[in-house]
């Protein structure tokens, strides 16, 4: 024996073998009987049904589940927690160590930059010295080339003088030989 409850309804027809016997607790009690042809007794649960004035049954929909229809309510806002003195001191020490580390890194970078600047200056000085030495060597090379050309010219001139002297020497020898021959011929004639 079951009792219905009031809610929003949908019109339905009464089931076979069900009859109403009276009201109880604001609802209607329903019993099951044997069916006319099957001879089997069915017990129908009609706790979700209610009888309207026209003796028709209305179905009560199941209550909505809040977990499926609406998102869970947000947690209540918590007041902001104030940091403790030990946390502040630890954070302050961390910040000081970070500042010291960054200062040391900056000093190291500045030192490396200064070393690079000095190396660049030394390299520039060496390049200037090498450039000056190259200019001096080029000047010396030009001077030596000029001296070589002068020596070649002198050598050519001396070779020309030697060849002329050789020609003159040959001429003088020929003249000497012809003179001696003429003198010998004269001496032979006198004898």
Flag whether pLDDT at 108 surpasses 60.
Answer: yes
Query: Using an 8 Å Cβ cutoff, are 82 and 29 in contact?
Result: no
Strand partners, 3: 29
% the chain with pLDDT above 70: 60
Q: Which pLDDT tens digit goes with each residue over 50-91?
A: 444 554 545 566 666 655 556 667 777 776 677 688 888 999
Over range 33-39, report the average pLDDT: 44
pTM (predicted TM-score): 0.37
pLDDT of residue 164: 93
Give the C-alpha distances (Å, rounded to integers) separating 15 from 32, 41, 52.
10, 13, 14
Angstrom distance (rounded) from CA 136 to CA 129: 10
Of residues 38, 37, 31, 25, the one with CA closest to residue 2 = 31
Query: Using an 8 Å Cβ cutoff, are 56 and 14 in contact?
Result: yes
Q: What is the DSSP string of 93-122?
A: HHHHHHHHHHHHHHHHHHHHHHHHHHHHHH
């Amino acid at each position: 024996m079951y009792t219905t409850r009031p809610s929003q309804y949908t019109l339905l027809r009464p089931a076979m073998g069900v009859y109403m016997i009276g009201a109880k607790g604001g609802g209607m009690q329903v019993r099951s009987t044997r069916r006319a042809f099957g001879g089997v007794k069915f017990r129908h649960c009609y706790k979700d049904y209610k009888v309207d004035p026209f003796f028709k049954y209305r179905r009560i929909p199941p209550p909505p589940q809040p977990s499926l229809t609406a998102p869970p309510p947000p947690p209540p806002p918590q007041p902001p927690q104030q940091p403790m003195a030990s946390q502040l001191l630890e954070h302050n020490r961390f910040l000081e160590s970070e500042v010291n580390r960054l200062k040391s890194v900056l000093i190291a970078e500045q030192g490396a930059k200064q070393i690079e600047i000095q190396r660049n200056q030394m390299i520039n000085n060496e390049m200037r010295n090498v450039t000056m030495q190259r200019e001096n060597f080029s000047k010396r090379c030009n001077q030596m080339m000029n001296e070589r050309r002068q020596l070649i010219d002198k050598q050519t001139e001396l070779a020309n003088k030697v060849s002329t002297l050789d020609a003159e020497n040959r001429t003088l020898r020929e003249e000497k030989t012809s003179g001696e021959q003429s003198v010998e011929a004269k001496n032979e004639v006198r004898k």
